[in-house]
Amino acid sequence: MSYLAQPGLQSLLLCSDDKIVRVLRRVLTELEIGVEHCTELDVAIQKLTRQRFEAIIVDCTTQAIAASMLKGVHSAPANKRAIAVAIIDGQSALKSAFELGAHFVLFKPISLERTKASFRSVRALMKRERRRHLRIPVELAVTVQSSDPPRTIELLTVDLSENGVGTKANVQLPAQFRVRFSLPGDHNEIDCRGEAAWRAKNVQGIRFRDLSLEASARLKSWIFRQMNGGDADDPPVLCKLSDLSLNACYLETESPFPVRTRLQITMKAGEQELPVEGMVRIMHPAAGIGVQFTRQTLEAKSKVENFIHTLTKIKDAVPQIEVRPDSIDNSPSAFSTMPADDSDPLLTLFHTGSDLAPDDFRAALHNQRFASEQVGI
């Protein structure tokens, strides 16, 4: 089956409330997001199977209709990675909306300003999810090397993405190997672990594993430059740092990202700048996110510790926090809510307080802040 492709970001809206539709059309038009509006479930499901959308927006007034629509999103091959937005009546409907598969929620009555704030994050994630899976046709020399048994294979690529390469190959790839190649015009070699991802006639896919932050940034930058007419990245979402520990932080923002979103975070205080990678573990709509740091090596923890010391030394410090989304992680490990370090009270609170209302969670943050080594801003 072929799917109708349309230029730019596209959304599918299932809603029969004229007021909600008017607000969403205005916001989405300002953000240069196309809108396909449906009032009937059958028509919307049909569009899901025939067109590709970056976002699916569903009015959850009727639970059965919302459930059918969101289930259709997950089963439609063209739209499995679409960002799902649920329009709900209040806090009591929040848990069921997320259980149905929503990534974001809009509370009724929806307002122009709150909707704009929410869609800043929605749009950034829509663009990242689309570009993350884009494959750029390119022929590069790739070296595949295994150590057990020792073996070196020279291959040519057919395309390249942020996650891997397609290669011209008629050989059986080793079970474990490293992959090395250089981007055009870049003399610094990319070297990472690889694994066989898929195989077709005369072509094999290799998935990248354990890419360094520096190599990942170079790869993303190169792919972005190859996109014909590609839009510039959205500006980062600005947040307020509420709490910070060695392994996690809580960020206040009107534009929170969904649970399991991988983030690139830059924290600045005085002359010090701290780049960290993290995953959203707890999300409070229109309020904030709890982020667990990933790639926590001893060196990375040392840098966080130094940043915490800087904050404690600077009187009335107000660090600048910039957040960019990378992807929504659907791997099995991303669904685990157990803290990686149970000695970190902030990370433990993300686990034990995941069902608390935002006000109750903030109260719990306040109470534990003075009984732990974490920094509150």
Higher local confidence (pLDDT), 74 or 303: 303
> Is pLDDT at 111 greater than 50 in this prediction?
yes
Q: Which CATH number is 282's domain given?
A: 2.40.10
What's the CA gap between 235 and 217, in Å, rounded? 16
Clarify whether residues 279 and 326 are in a common domain.
Answer: yes
> Is pLDDT at 375 greater than 60 in this prediction?
yes
Any domain includes 347: yes
Most confident of 90-104, 251-265, 332-346: 251-265
Question: What is the arithmetic mean of pLDDT over 111-127?
Answer: 91
Q: Which of 132, 151, 182 is the last residue of a domain?
A: 132
pTM here is 0.75
Clarify whether residues 77 and 99 are in a common domain.
Answer: yes
Residue 5: per-residue pLDDT:
41
Q: What is the mean pLDDT of the chain?
A: 87
Q: Which of 226, 251, 284 is the last residue of a domain?
A: 226
Residue 3: per-residue pLDDT:
37
Residue 369: per-residue pLDDT:
72
> Given its phi and psi angles, is residue 286 left (phi above 0), alpha (psi -120 to 50 degrees) or beta?
left
pLDDT digits (tens, 9 = 90+) for 146-194: 988 889 999 999 999 888 999 997 788 888 899 999 998 888 899 999 9
Q: What are the residues whose beta carbons fall under 8 Å from the beta carbon of 286, sequence distance 6 or more?
A: 107, 114, 117, 118, 254, 256
Our count of domains for the chain comes to 3
Any domain includes 325: yes
Clarify whether residues 87 and 120 are in a common domain.
Answer: yes
Clarify whether residues 370 and 242 are in a common domain.
Answer: yes
pLDDT digits (tens, 9 = 90+) for 282-300: 999 989 999 999 977 888 8
Any domain includes 2: no
Clarify whether residues 285 and 359 are in a common domain.
Answer: yes
Among residues of the chain, what percentage have pLDDT more than 90?
A: 49
> Is pLDDT at 13 greater than 80 in this prediction?
yes
Clarify whether residues 221 and 300 are in a common domain.
Answer: no
Clarify whether residues 72 and 166 are in a common domain.
Answer: no
Q: Which CATH number is 200's domain given?
A: 2.40.10.220
Q: What are the residues whose beta carbons fall under 8 Å from the beta carbon of 194, sequence distance 6 or more?
A: 144, 164, 177, 178, 179, 206, 207, 208, 209
Q: Which of 113, 132, 151 is the last residue of a domain?
A: 132
Q: Which residue has the tokens 């902030």?
A: 346
Clarify whether residues 35 and 96 are in a common domain.
Answer: yes
Q: Which CATH number is 68's domain given?
A: 3.40.50.2300
198 pLDDT band, cuts 50/70/90, is confident
- Domain limits for position 72: 9-132
Q: Which stretch of 37-51, 54-68, 232-246, 248-262 has the lowest confidence by average pLDDT? A: 232-246
